[in-house]
Amino acid sequence: MPRGFFLTFEGLDGSGKSTQLRKLHEWLVRSGEDVVTTRQPGGTQLGDRIRSLLLDSRRTSLDPRAELGLMFSDRAQVIAEVIRPALDRGAIVLCDRYTDSTEAYQGAGRELGSARVLALHHELCGLDPDLTLLLLPDFDASLARARHRNQSAVAVTGKDENRFESLDTAFFRRVYDQYRAIAQREPLRVVAIEGDAGVEAVHRRILSIVEERLNQHRAS
């Protein structure tokens, strides 16, 4: 059986990536595809526990290197438990964040450096996406949406996952700029979708990109 297709969504919180992943998942299911969705951090029982450690805004003393280690522990588990088995049976896997997020947030935002992140990825993961969709709307608008959304989520659910959103704007500017650098470094894998074109317009562009890449992948 041919290997499945691994697609990741990247961008700042507030970029619309989770909405676009959901819409793509619904379209693929309607098209009769075998689709698995997961997220980083999380996606497994262990991963959800790690997620609570990483994102809880009350956990302010976590060392950046410990944060990096937890990210890759979570990723190694979801690859073994969810992603590889799905790809082996020929499914399409959609993942909300992957190693590009770690390079952007921990490598650049926390200033640990890309080389350290990429070395851990090679050693512990060894699995690259076939396609990464990077959503890059306006920086200030994206950050404002993320902070407003997460504050609303706390009020509704009582779950506070705002540890990163509480960081200063300079942190997120480093993250945003690193995402651009990754897209420039890996133009064949990463497709950057820039601007605030609206949910449906972005969705239509994503469908066009994904259809073309899936056809290429299946013909190879």
pLDDT tens for 18-27 read 999 999 999 9
What is the C-alpha R_g of the chain?
17
What pLDDT, on a 0 to 100 scale, did the predictor assign at position 206? Answer: 98
Q: Where are the domains of the chain?
A: 5-219
Closest CA to 149 of 18, 1, 5: 18
Rounded Cα gap, residues 151 and 172, in angstroms: 18
What pLDDT, on a 0 to 100 scale, did the predictor assign at position 83? Answer: 98
Superfamily of domain 5-219: P-loop containing nucleotide triphosphate hydrolases (3.40.50.300)
Contact 139, 13 (CB under 8 A): no
Rounded Cα gap, residues 55 and 39, in angstroms: 13
Rounded Cα gap, residues 8 and 189, in angstroms: 10
Determine if the pTM surpasses 0.75.
yes
DSSP state of 139: H
Per-residue pLDDT of the chain (220 residues; tens, 9 = 90+): 678 999 999 999 889 999 999 999 999 999 999 999 999 999 999 999 999 888 875 656 789 999 999 999 999 999 999 999 999 999 999 999 999 999 999 999 999 999 999 999 999 999 999 999 999 999 988 888 877 765 554 444 555 455 565 678 899 999 999 999 999 999 999 999 998 889 999 999 999 999 999 999 999 8
Closest CA to 141 of 84, 217, 197, 186: 197
Rounded Cα gap, residues 26 and 102, in angstroms: 27
